[in-house]
Chain A
Amino acid sequence: MTGRAADRDASAVSPRARRALRRFLTNPLALVGTVVLGVVTCCALAPDVVAPHDPEWVAYVGTGDGRLTLAQSRSLPHPPAFGDPFFAPLGTTASGHGVFTELVYGARTALLVGLAAALLSSLVGVPLGLCSGYYGGWVDEAIQRVVDVLYGVPFLPFVIVLVAIRGASTTTVVLAIAATSWLNNCVVVRGTTLSLVRRTYVDAARAAGLPAHRIVARHVLPDVLPVAAVLLVQDAATAILAHATLAYLGLADVTTASWGVLLQQVQATGHVFDAPWWLLPPGLAIASLVAAFYYVGHAVEDVTGAD
């Protein structure tokens, strides 16, 4: 969309866009957020390059001819341990997997859940909000009453029931999160659209006889996009947190590596108090990624004035 906007009106838009980009990049929050997002994206795209082992690697097993000493086999399943003995930079989990390796491989799930849920809720919420705000009347009434009603459905209990039905696949979790997070998008976009529709340039476009979809796409949507971008980023953040929470409750797919599942295993194996190298990194990773999304959202708000 920005590409098309730039083509249409290159002389007016690009200095503004360049200025906005500069303000974004000099914003310390944006910088930190972008760096964290970059690191996580690298881990998600090429975990095998970043991680010291592949996800199947287990401490002890596979060394030499695979034969274990008596002491080693007696200690299986291996107690979580910290440090270099197994060449696991952050130590190992109770099942002998490297914590750092699990972290790197979990990045993909976190990013995927965040982005997929956010995109889905934007795809539903933004068009409905645009319609609601632009057409008004019974369209607005209908959409807003649906939103009002759905706001009354408690989110986490709903997701728990949904996941219990459809099984704890990542797709279900994403769908469940998006099913509730689009509401906020719809309400906020509607509010912005309402204030935009009263502007004179929209009146002018209407007087010029442009069809509604063209007015919305060309004259309303560009000014809604910054707001939608902020919402997108916030949705991604809440989705990642919600996924971690579901994993803690035992409602996430345990076969895919994810930070929430990693945390849940700490508790399931009873090592909350004696394996800080295992307990702390996944929590910090979740918080960093979620905070990175928040930071970028705040920076976008600052730059575009979409407070």
Chain B
Amino acid sequence: MVRVTRVGAAYLVRRLAVAYATLLVVMTLLFVLLRAMPGSFVSAMTTPGMTTAQLARLEAAWGVHDPLWVQYGRFLLNYQTGQFGWSPTMHAPVADVLARRLPRTLVLFGAALLACYVVGPLVGMVLGWYRDARGGTLALAVSLFVYATPVFWVAWLLVWLFDHRLGWLPSANMVTQFPAFAPAPLPVALDFLRHLALPLLSVAAVGWVGAALLVRPAMRDAMRADYVDLARAKGLRERTVLFKHAGRNALVPVTTSAAIALAFLVDGAVVTETVFSWPGMGRLIVTAVLDRDYPLAQAAFFLVAVVVVVVRLCLDVVYTYLDPRISLGGRDE
């Protein structure tokens, strides 16, 4: 049976407190940052033809002239009760816009994460296994070089090859804009997958290296272990020893460092979605900031932070359950 005693109540409370404090800090940061931005909160809603009376009414409705602490208190209260306001550029409630955008990002980056974490550890195992072989250093050098390329540049090269040159895959948007096929489930799904392919490929093309680099040093310790000698002595094939015996044990650092992957994905989301016009959260943040749509920018940023904080919280609790040596914050002391 599952024992839950390893994760104590005190630990959970402490972890939850940190998560909550993180969100409070993010909210405060947002409040300060967005009020420091050029233009006022209502500047995206004004048009040049507005009279001063109209402007004053608009500003009064949005409470721009209230004392800062009143605005801050109202902001905290609204955000914690799920009131995100109205987006002046999208002409829709912010919550609706976010609810539409978030799943699209999660689909793309869930798939990308899966791809990275299937390919990366396998390559890392091989890299670690042949660490001292002649090709080992070259393979490491190539992997690091791939890791060093800007994601958007790789994406352009892939678009050039697969869309512009070969014409195999579409490189913009999430679905075909004016489809020639019937809106039946299967063609729509296939169309979506075709649109998913290139963004997925460009994130995965760079992202796998991160996981590989975590596995590679762990392989060295695994290779020195007695069970590897035993497996060899039993006459098992080299490949079996590599992947089944040494490799499995080198996977530990990958599972405990998902926070790094998370950071990579958030950054990747912003860039990749911009390159491929993928209508997700990352692109939303960029366009909202550039369009000075402050209610939307603020809420989108907040939602990304919430996702990050919640995932980190879950990961930490799960790891503490799996491995009692790991302490608060997912670090090994």
Which residues of A does B touch, CB under 8 Å? Answer: 28-29, 32, 144-145, 147-158, 160-162, 164-165, 187, 191, 194, 237, 241, 244-245, 248-250, 260, 263, 267, 272-273, 279, 282-283, 286-291, 294-295, 298, 307
Cβ 8 A contact of B301, one of A150, A154, A244 = A154
CA distance A164 to B309 in the complex (A): 24
8 interchain residue pairs of minimum CB distance: A290-B148, A152-B22, A291-B148, A283-B153, A156-B267, A287-B149, A291-B145, A294-B144
Q: Which single residue of chain B is at the shortest CB-CB distance from A161?
A: B33
Q: Which residues of A contact B145 (CB under 8 A)?
A: 287-288, 291
Q: Which residues of A contact B7 (CB under 8 A)?
A: none
Instruction: Answer whether residue B263 sits at the interface, using C-beta atoms and an 8 A cutoff.
Output: yes
Instruction: Answer whether residue B304 sits at the interface, using C-beta atoms and an 8 A cutoff.
Output: yes
State whether B308 touches A152 (Cβ < 8 A).
yes
State whether A157 touches B38 (Cβ < 8 A).
no
Asked if A245 meets B26 with Cβ closer than 8 Å, knowing A153-B305, A164-B289, A295-B141, the reply is no
CA distance A118 to B23 in the complex (A): 27
Asked if A153 meets B290 with Cβ closer than 8 Å, knowing A161-B33, A161-B34, A286-B148, the reply is no
State whether B289 touches A154 (Cβ < 8 A).
no
Q: Which single residue of chain A is at the shortest CB-CB distance from B306?
A: A152
CA distance A219 to B270 in the complex (A): 44
CA distance A194 to B331 in the complex (A): 12
Q: Which residues of B contact A307 (CB under 8 A)?
A: 217
Q: Which single residue of chain A is at the shortest CB-CB distance from B159?
A: A272
State whether A149 touches B22 (Cβ < 8 A).
yes
9 example contacts (A-B, Cβ-Cβ < 8 A) are as follows A28-B141, A152-B305, A152-B308, A152-B312, A156-B270, A161-B34, A191-B331, A249-B286, A294-B148
CA distance A294 to B331 in the complex (A): 23
State whether B23 touches A152 (Cβ < 8 A).
yes
Instruction: Answer whether residue B41 sits at the interface, using C-beta atoms and an 8 A cutoff.
Output: no
A263 to B: closest C-beta gap in Å: 6
Q: Which single residue of chain A is at the shortest CB-CB distance from B220?
A: A307
Cβ 8 A contact of B37, one of A154, A161, A248 = A161
Q: Which single residue of chain A is at the shortest CB-CB distance from B274?
A: A249
B281 to A: closest C-beta gap in Å: 9
State whether A245 touches B152 (Cβ < 8 A).
yes
Asked if A32 meets B148 with Cβ closer than 8 Å, knowing A156-B270, A191-B333, the reply is no
B63 to A: closest C-beta gap in Å: 21
Q: Which residues of A contact B309 (CB under 8 A)?
A: 152
CA distance A263 to B155 in the complex (A): 13
Q: Which single residue of chain A is at the shortest CB-CB distance from B142?
A: A291
Binary CB contact string for chain B from 137 to 162 against chain A (1 if under 8 A, 0 otherwise): 10011001101111111001101100
Instruction: Answer whether residue B266 sits at the interface, using C-beta atoms and an 8 A cutoff.
Output: yes
State whether B312 touches A151 (Cβ < 8 A).
yes
CA distance A283 to B151 in the complex (A): 10
Q: Which residues of B contact A263 (CB under 8 A)?
A: 150, 152-153
Q: Which residues of A contact B263 (CB under 8 A)?
A: 154-155
Interface members, chain B 284-312 (any A CB < 8 Å) = 285-286, 289-290, 297, 300-301, 304-305, 308-309, 312
Cβ 8 A contact of A272, one of B37, B38, B160 = B160
Interface members, chain B 19-38 (any A CB < 8 Å) = 19, 21-23, 25-26, 29-30, 33-34, 36-38
Cβ 8 A contact of B160, one of A29, A144, A273 = A273
Instruction: Answer whether residue B259 sits at the interface, using C-beta atoms and an 8 A cutoff.
Output: yes
CA distance A151 to B21 in the complex (A): 12
State whether B290 touches A250 (Cβ < 8 A).
yes
Asked if A245 meets B329 with Cβ closer than 8 Å, knowing A149-B22, A153-B305, A250-B290, the reply is no
State whether A286 touches B149 (Cβ < 8 A).
yes
Q: Which residues of A contact B301 (CB under 8 A)?
A: 154, 157-158, 161
Instruction: Answer whether residue B18 sits at the interface, using C-beta atoms and an 8 A cutoff.
Output: yes
Q: Which residues of B contact A241 (CB under 8 A)?
A: 148, 150
Q: Which single residue of chain A is at the shortest CB-CB distance from B21?
A: A149
CA distance A307 to B33 in the complex (A): 38
CA distance A287 to B153 in the complex (A): 10
Instruction: Answer whether residue B6 sits at the interface, using C-beta atoms and an 8 A cutoff.
Output: no
CA distance A307 to B216 in the complex (A): 11
